[in-house]
Every structure is written in C-alpha cells, then in structure tokens.
Structure 1
Amino acid sequence: MPHRRRTLLLPAPSAPWLDAAAPHQAGAPFRRPRLRPPKVYNTSEDCMRVKAQKLQEDVQMLFQTFTRVVQKMNLIDTLQRLGIDHLFEDQINTAMNEIHEKEFNSCSLYDVALRFRLLRESGLRVSPDVFSKFKGKDGSLSRDIISEPRGLLSLYNAAYLSIPGESELDEAVIFARHHLESMRSSLNYPFSEQVKRNLEIPLPRTLKRLDAPYYIAEYQQEKAYNPTILELAKLDFNLLQRLHQEEIKAFCQWGNDLYEEVRLTYSRHRIVECYFWSYTEYHERHYGDARIILAKLLVLVTLLDDTFDMHATLEEGWKLNEAIQRWDESAITLLPEYLKGYFVRLMNTFREFEDELKPDHKYRVAYSRKAFQNLCKHYQQESEWFHSSHIPSFEDHVKCSVISAGTPTLFVGSLMGMGDEASKEAFEWAIGCTDAVRACGEVARFMDDLASFKHGKNKLDVASSIESYINQHHCTDEVAMDVLDNLVEDAWKTTNQARFDRGALLPLVNRVANLTKSMTLLFRNKVDRYTFSHGNKDRIRQQFIDPIPL
C-alpha cells in the first residue's frame, strides 16, 4: 500500500533466509520464521574464543612496541576499518591523546590527513591549517598531490569531517573527488575497491562494521599486513555473528507473537529488518540489551506509523494520539476495537523495559515514553495536514517532519539499554533534540524526501519538504533539491561540531552518528532503498548468514 510519509524507521531489504520475510498480507496467517542452518565452522566456539583472546593480547602489545606516531595512527586506522577497534577502546583513547599532544611535521599528505581524520573523529581539535603545506601560492591545493593517490584519498575522507565555516575543506572534497574519479580505472586492487566504496560513501560516513568484511578481504594485500590482526578480525566477526544469529531467532519469536496478537494486517511485517537497523547503531557484544530494546521500539513505531499512514481516519488518529498522550490503560476505551490490542501491547512492552532495567536506570523509560508521545503528536499533525490538503511552510514542515522521521525518538529509546555512559545528562541532551540528534533527523528527513521526490509521489503521500519549499519560494525542482542537498551537508557538519562541543558525551555523539550513517544505506544516490527493498539484501546476508573463512 502507498505511504503518505516514508518515515526512516527500518531498512527495507527482504530477509531471504526467513520464511516470514515477505510483508504480511491482509488476512494471511502468520508463520514462524525459520533460520536456514548457518555454515558449519571447523573450530568449536570455545576454541575460537580462547584463540581470539590470545590474539587480542598480542595486538594490545603493539600499542607499546609501536613508538612512532605514524605507526600508532596506522594501527588505529587498521583496527577501526577491520571492525575490531571496540576490543581496544582504552588503548586507542590513550594513543589518540598522545598523538594529539605530540608535535607532527610530516610532509606526507596521507599521514597528515590520516592524523586529521582520526583526531577529529576522537573529538580532538585540529585545524585545517595542517593542509596549508600542500597548497600553492594562490591558496588552492597544489596539483603535485595528484601523483599520490593514497594521499588524495586520505585527504578526501578527512575533509568530510569539516565543521561550519571551513570552506577550504569543502573545496578539498571537490578537488580530491574529481581527481580520484579520473584515475579510478588505472588503480590496482585493493586500493581501487577502497576508492570505489569511499567515492560512494566517504569513510567518516561509513558504518565500520558493515564495511569490515570488504576490508578483511583486502587487508592481506596491504604492504603492512599483520597476520595476527587479520586473524583476530576474522574470529571476532564470526563470533559476533553467532551471537547476532541467536538474538535474531529470539527476536523473531517476539515479533511474530506481537504481530499475531495486535493483528494490524495492513502494517509491514519487518522483524529481521528491525533487528538489522538496531544493529547498525549497536553491534558490540555488551550492547545486547540496547540492541534488542531499540529493535522492539522499531516494531512498535512501525505499527504506529503505518496506522496513521495507511488505515486510521482523522478521527481515529485523534483518539489514538489522545490515548498515547494519556499513557494509561484506562484510555483504551477511547480507541476503536482494532487498535486496542496494539495499545495494550505498547503499554506492556514499556512496562517490560522498566522491569528489565537496573533500579537506578528505571528513570530512563520515562524519557523514552515522552519521546514516543512526541512522535505520535507529530504523526497526528501530518495527518491533519494531509486530510485538509494543506501544504505547510518549509519551516513548519521541517519543524514537524524532522521529528516524524523517527530517528530522534529512536535515539532516545536506544539509550535505555546502555550502560552507565547513558547518564541523566545524556537523556536530557537526547530528548532536547539539539545539535547531533537534530542533525540525524534532518539527514533522515531530507535524504528520504530527495529519494521519494526523484522517484515520484504516491497518491496518499503528504506534501514533502521539497514541495513545501517549492510552494513557498516559487522555484524549480532543481533549486529545491539543491537546497536540501546543502542542508544534508550542513547537518553532517553539525554532527562533526558536536564531537567538540559535547566532549563528555562523545561516545553517545558517535552512537547517534551511527544512526545518521545508516541513512547512507537507505538513500545513497537518491535511491529509496526503503521502498525498493532489494538494495540492502546482500548486506544482511553478509552480516548475519555468511561467516568469514578462517
């Protein structure tokens, strides 16, 4: 069925290894999903764990044996790109502070740009003036650096960490992209593949866990290849994959039970996709609680979104919104019969969240409830616009649709299952929907609308932000789309700035940045991979089905 609002809630790829992967059809019975047996490992899981622990200890020693700044930078970069940096958080933080404090006078563009990128991603300030030595007398980048492709790619990726007002880095992106595109056909593997991927999604906007299988396959071809690091990366990926497979099985049971209970047959049945979406924010072993809580929220929000978009009349929407604002089981009397099951399950699930949290973490549920209520209120606002055929001003549209994009609400909820780093200060920041949290909603909304506008509008779609801009400013489609493209870039810069401004909350800024990065999976090249679901199918299989050969 068509949607009025393509809210950014879950990735759309089908899950080909599940019986219940296809969208549920009205009136059809629900079926329990069955995972196909994963490929059999030759080594027991216990042996894998013992081996991985020994390798981890060996890699830890490299932080002591590598004394030069360049050595440590390359080690950190390698661990991040192989997806095993989560095993060395303390060592990396210590090393990054040392790198920041030490004087660095390298004439290598690759090294200077790598240091710039690593420091900024770590929330440590470094000026773009470090690139002055690679400029000519006219202040523009020297053409001499074109002869150093690795340095050019390093500069290209580093420049995507610009903050507002750094136009010289915007120019560096244009310069580097132009020359990398022109030389792509002459590059050798594996560097050619890395250039190809980064031109599509630059490294600072890439989800490292999803990119890790590609780099694991390429790393052995690198000159500085370390077999200990590579073996650890393979083992860690496969061990985590086994954990994720077990979580998916349990989550599918929960999700199908919920769908069978609420029986909103008009809604999308996307259980595995909800888990995958949550996984892009949290893949590490110790974030299992956060991962499952977020995945459950995704299912609940999807049902709410589809109810407003596909089925509820304006009056039914008012009643549903009022019941959710009251957040009391007695409000069930307000609802039409078909929504009562959903409302009861919503109340029960949030009660289960609270029961599962530690006593000093139970306050977190109130923040998530408030965010959920706020989301519902904005769904209702869009419903009223649709039913009255009203096209709001661009400013009013954005004020509403950045929230209805779903990501600000989901991020607040995603903090519930985190450890002590999710402090009360963190929840106040998240619920306030400022800087990086708002930027996430902006990237989600504008990339969604750009993709939807390019493909064409469904008959039940509420006016998009592009249409509001065109209607208000009487401009062409191209001008409006350029405006939104620029707003997406501005939002990324806001996220980069937040790493400096929110130093105490840096780990959480990086989590909401992961949620923002997931938009690149869904809407890159202005193609809506939410509506046209085949685009990410291979990534789901790669992450959850196919182990990496040991």
Structure 2
Amino acid sequence: MASGSAAAPKTAPVFHPTVWGDFFINYHPQPLQRPEEWMRERSKQLKEEASGLFDACEDVVEKMNLVDALQRLGIDHHFEDKIITTLSRIQSAELNSPSLHEVALRFRLLRQQGFWVSPDEFNKFRCEDGGFITDITNDPKGLLSLYNAASLVVHNEGSLEEAILFARRHLELMRSSLKSPLAEQVARALQIPLPRTLKRVEALSYIPEYIQEKTYNPSILEFAKLDFNFLQHLHQEELSAITQWWNDLSRDIGLDYVRDRVVECYFWSYTVYYEEEYTRARMILARLFMLASLLDDTYDVHATLEECRKLNEAIQSWDECAVSDLPEYLKKFFLKVISNFREFENQLEPHEKFGNAYNKKAFQMLSGYYLQEAEWFHGNYIPSFKDQVNVSVLSAGAQALSVGLLVGMGDLATKEALEWAIGSTDAVWACGEVARFMDDMSAFKNGRNQKDVASSVECYIKEYSVTSEVALAKLSYLVEDAWKTINQARFEHRALLPVVERVTNLAKSMALLFLDKRDAYTYSKDFKETMDSHFVNPIPL
C-alpha cells in the first residue's frame, strides 16, 4: 500500500479486465441498412400513421392496446402527450369488462403514469370469501396481466400482494404448457415483472413477438425496428466517444486496480434514458458512473485509511491546491475529477449551470459515505444493521446518480427536482435500497472483496443471530418494500413524474444487473451477449 507521497506499488488485478478492449474505439458501425435520410423520412411517415391511430381507436380497449404496444415496443417516447391525454380519458371512462386481462391492463397503464386506480377494481374476480374465483386459473393471459399490474403495489395493499402470490403460483404451474409468445412473456415476468423491466430490454424481446399479437399493426412494428436501429447507431457513436475518453483518462491516472467498465457504465446510463434528445445527459451520467466507480474501488480495494482520509479531505475542499497532500498515485485522479466536473458545467447553458453545484455536492457526499465504510473496515468494526444500512444505502450511489442524471436534462433539472434528488427521500432512498440489498446479496453469494466493509447481510446475521437464509430472505423482503415506495412516488410527486421515472429506471437497471444474485457490472463477461444485442447487433428490417 502507498502512503504519504510515494507511488502506489503494482498490485495483482482484483477484477477481470474489460471484455471490450478497444472494440468501440476501433469500431466502425456498419452502415445503416437503409440510408439515414430515407430512415428519417420513413420514420416520420410511420410516426404520423401511428399518431393517427389514437383518433381511430373506437373504444377504451383499443386505446389501451395501442398504448401498451407503443410502450412495449419502446417507441412511446414519440407520443408522450397523446399517451397522457389518452390515459386521462381512459381513467374517466367506464370499463365494464368481464376480462381479467383488460381490467388489469387498464390498472397497470394508469398506475404507471401516476393515475390512481383502486385495488377494488379486481373485486369482481373474487368470491364472497375474498379468494379469487377458480375461472381465472384457466386464463394465463389474464393471470400474467394481473401479476404485472399487481407489481405496482404500494404500501398497505394486502389485496395486491395476495394477487401477486396467487397469479405467480398459477403461472408457475402452467408455464410448461404455454405456447409462444405467451410462454416467453410469462418466463420474463416471473424473473422481472413488466413494470420493473427496462423499456429498451422489453423492446428487444417484444419486437419479434408483436407480429403474433391480435392487435398487430405492421406500420407500428416497422417504426419500432427503424427507431431501434437508428438509435443504436447513435449509441455506437457515443460509445466510441466515451471509450476514447476513458482510454485517455485511464492512461493519465494509471490506476491499475480499478474496474475497467466504461462500456458497462455507458449501458447503465443508457438504461436511464436511451432517447435521442438525451445524448448530453447520457454522456454526462456515463462519465459520472465511471468516476464514482473509480472512487469506490480506490476506497474499497486499494487505499490505506490515511489515504482515504486525505482523498476525502481533498474532495470536500474541491481545491486543486489540495493535491499536494495526496499520495502521488491519487493526485492525477483528483485533478481529473475536478476537470470533468468543470467540463460538465461547460456543457450546460447559463441558466442550467446551477445544477452542477448539486452534482458536485452529491459527489462529495458520496466520498464521505465511502470514507465512513473505510473507517469501519480498518477499525475492524461491524456496525449495527441499522447503522450499516443508513450509510451503505447512500454509498450504493443512488443519491449521487439521481442528482447526476438530472444535470444534463435541460428544463427538467429544476431546483425542486434537484432538491428532491439530493434529499434522498422516498424513491431515491428506495432506489438505493434496491441497489444496496441486491448488491450485498450478490456479494454474499459470490464472495466480497478483501477490503469491503461488512455487508448488510453479514451485519443482519451477526446482530440477530440468524442463518444466512433468514438474512437473505429479510433483504429480499426489504427490496420488495422499496419497490412499493418507488411505486408510491408516482402518485406523491405527479409534478416530478418525468424525473421519478428516470430514478425508477435506475432501480430497474439494478433489478437487471443483479438478477439472480449475479453482479453483471463487476463480473461482466456473462453480460456481454446482452450488451451486444443493445449496442452491436441491429434488428433485421
């Protein structure tokens, strides 16, 4: 270990090297399957056709099916105003349908958009004793829709929790007998319910399935394919730029102990917003992800306690003169952090620049949380479960990243939104809980780094003298409880709904990356095929 101003000695790599190498630096995207101008013009025509369908829909069910298809195909961002208007009308309209699928679809679409719907909507499918009627156990599509709708449960909604268990049990019993595409849709939902699934991830699965739906519209499908491929081309250009940025940065700072995961950081940013208009925000957030990852690895796997304290002091001062107090190997890193934040601010319009002060403050706070964990580790101290969670939920990064994702979002980055994000209340805190508990359960399964502080799993086991199975069950319960808080935020912060949705996307990305107690960020080899489908392989037209 280094101390004082001595250079850090070479250490054996803690993490596997990047699976990408210079792929995106040297990568020349394949020419679009059609000329860009043609794709833009054709997309414009198809968008107009799809837009006309909102007026052509004759009843509530047709309107719901249209909104559902646009969302699952990942092209709803082109019709935001029309979708909100349509859902507002759907909320006001009567739906006297005997179909469980239709009732559940209405419930899910409205709740996702922040329109309140009572769980009593499902009472028509219950017996007098409160249980569900047996008829719906033979309705797999209805059960799947019920399961997905009930996943938007908020606190104190026992009837929806019961619905989740009921639907899941029967879907698991019948899944082997289901036909495509319903079989695949059930399998996906049993892993991650649709309301917790990232739109871009669902689009990749749903685009080839959509042609088998009764509501299939060839113009909508063509638009979805063109839009996906056009955006993928944009994402490839961004990946080339962010990889070059990282190449230059890593060469300059020379921290050989860190996770080389810039493509994965970009993927994380892309899961928050993939739309064309958020290029600036996406690139800022990807760099912020990488800088936070470097900071985390420095505190976690390399620095001595004294070096951790000095680094935190420098970050809190945000003064380039503080570099003289740092060990040699951290001087360039600290200066690069400051220069990157300066570059973030330079990308903002004059009226937007105030947001970067929140960004800087959140990064400073993140450093403080990392230092607290380092103090615990080096002092051989195992905190209480409550104390550990109060720090580790924040060190999971949801607070800093919720602020950071706002910085490049233009008019959405209001003072109210930034105060909400940095305050780490409700959905932001809950996103941190999802990240922390899923990460800790993964680390417990896969083995943690030597210098990691005791995890929430270990603290729970020690404090309550329980088995690991009991502790893991408790954390799984807390993850589900956090999702209720995230769902609740849609109704409590209607004015901030576009921002709440992006924070929700951050939580959804955690559900994907830590699925089945894996860690697809740190151990990204097995996740490369998934990222290939997003960034390398176009959808055949």
State the TM bucket, normalised to the shorter chain.
over 0.9
Distance 1:196 1:468 in 2: 34
1:323 aligns with 2:325: no
Look up the SS of the partner of 1:547 in the other structure: coil
Distance 1:178 1:13 in 2: 39
1:520 aligns with 2:511: yes
Note the C-alpha offset of 1:530: 3.1
Note the C-alpha offset of 1:39: 4.0
Counterpart of 2:453 (choices 458, 462, 468) is 462
1:504 aligns with 2:495: yes
1:20 aligns with 2:22: yes
Counterpart of 1:533 (choices 517, 524, 533) is 524
Counterpart of 2:26 (choices 31, 34, 38) is 34
Look up the SS of the partner of 1:33 in the other structure: helix
User: Does structure 2 conserve the Cα–Cα contact (< 8 Å) formed by 1:19 and 1:34?
Assistant: no
Task: Give the aligned partner of residue 243 of structure 1.
Answer: 234
Structure 2 letter corresponding to 1:525: D
User: Does structure 1 conserve the Cα–Cα contact (< 8 Å) formed by 2:384 and 2:463?
Assistant: yes
Identity of aligned residues (%): 57
Task: Give the aligned partner of residue 431 of structure 1.
Answer: 422
- Ranges in structure 1 where 5+ consecutive residues have no aligned partner: 1-11, 22-31
Look up the SS of the partner of 1:80 in the other structure: helix
Could you state the TM-score of these two structures normalised by the residue count of structure 1?
A: 0.94
Distance 1:504 1:443 in 2: 24
Distance 2:338 2:443 in 1: 33
Structure with more contact order per residue of length (Cα contacts < 8 Å, sep ≥ 6): 1
Note the C-alpha offset of 1:298: 1.1
Look up the SS of the partner of 2:189 in the other structure: helix
Note the C-alpha offset of 1:527: 2.4
Alignment of 1:402-481 (within 5 A): 402-481=393-472
Task: Give the aligned partner of residue 487 of structure 1.
Answer: 478
Counterpart of 2:95 (choices 96, 99, 104) is 104
Counterpart of 1:259 (choices 250, 261, 283) is 250
Distance 2:264 2:465 in 1: 39
Task: Give the aligned partner of residue 196 of structure 2.
Answer: 205
- Shift of the 367–162 alpha-carbon distance from structure 1 to 2, 3 Å rule, reads same
- Shift of the 19–455 alpha-carbon distance from structure 1 to 2, 3 Å rule, reads closer
User: Does structure 2 conserve the Cα–Cα contact (< 8 Å) formed by 1:13 and 1:536?
Assistant: no
Note the C-alpha offset of 1:474: 1.6
Note the C-alpha offset of 1:209: 0.8
- Ranges in structure 2 where 5+ consecutive residues have no aligned partner: 1-14
1:545 aligns with 2:524: no
RMSD: 1.6
Note the C-alpha offset of 1:46: 0.7
User: Does structure 1 conserve the Cα–Cα contact (< 8 Å) formed by 2:272 and 2:502?
Assistant: yes
Task: Give the aligned partner of residue 121 of structure 2.
Answer: 130
Distance 1:104 1:229 in 2: 26
Task: Give the aligned partner of residue 221 of structure 2.
Answer: 230
What whole-Å deviation, never above 9, does each CA across 1:213-268 have from its counterpart, x for those lacking one?
A: 21111111112210010000000001101111111111111111111111112112
Look up the SS of the partner of 2:34 in the other structure: coil
Structure 2 letter corresponding to 1:98: R
Could you state the TM-score of these two structures normalised by the residue count of structure 2?
A: 0.95
Matched residues, number: 528
Note the C-alpha offset of 1:184: 1.1
Structure 2 letter corresponding to 1:34: N
User: Does structure 2 conserve the Cα–Cα contact (< 8 Å) formed by 1:13 and 1:537?
Assistant: no
Distance 2:39 2:338 in 1: 42
Note the C-alpha offset of 1:437: 0.3
Task: Give the aligned partner of residue 355 of structure 1.
Answer: 346
Distance 1:185 1:14 in 2: 39
What whole-Å deviation, never above 9, does each CA across 1:131-156 have from its counterpart, x for those lacking one?
A: 00000121011121011111110000
Note the C-alpha offset of 1:13: 10
Distance 2:516 2:307 in 1: 37
Note the C-alpha offset of 1:40: 4.0
Note the C-alpha offset of 1:470: 1.6
Task: Give the aligned partner of residue 294 of structure 1.
Answer: 285
Note the C-alpha offset of 1:305: 0.9
What whole-Å deviation, never above 9, does each CA across 1:163-218 have from its counterpart, x for those lacking one?
A: 00001111111111111111111111111111111111110110011221211111
Distance 1:13 1:268 in 2: 8
Distance 1:365 1:82 in 2: 34
Task: Give the aligned partner of residue 191 of structure 1.
Answer: 182
Look up the SS of the partner of 2:293 in the other structure: helix
Look up the SS of the partner of 2:458 in the other structure: helix
Task: Give the aligned partner of residue 164 of structure 2.
Answer: 173
Look up the SS of the partner of 2:80 in the other structure: helix
1:49 aligns with 2:40: yes
Look up the SS of the partner of 1:139 in the other structure: coil
Note the C-alpha offset of 1:328: 1.1
Distance 2:397 2:268 in 1: 12
Structure 1 letter corresponding to 2:22: A
User: Does structure 1 conserve the Cα–Cα contact (< 8 Å) formed by 2:255 and 2:329?
Assistant: yes
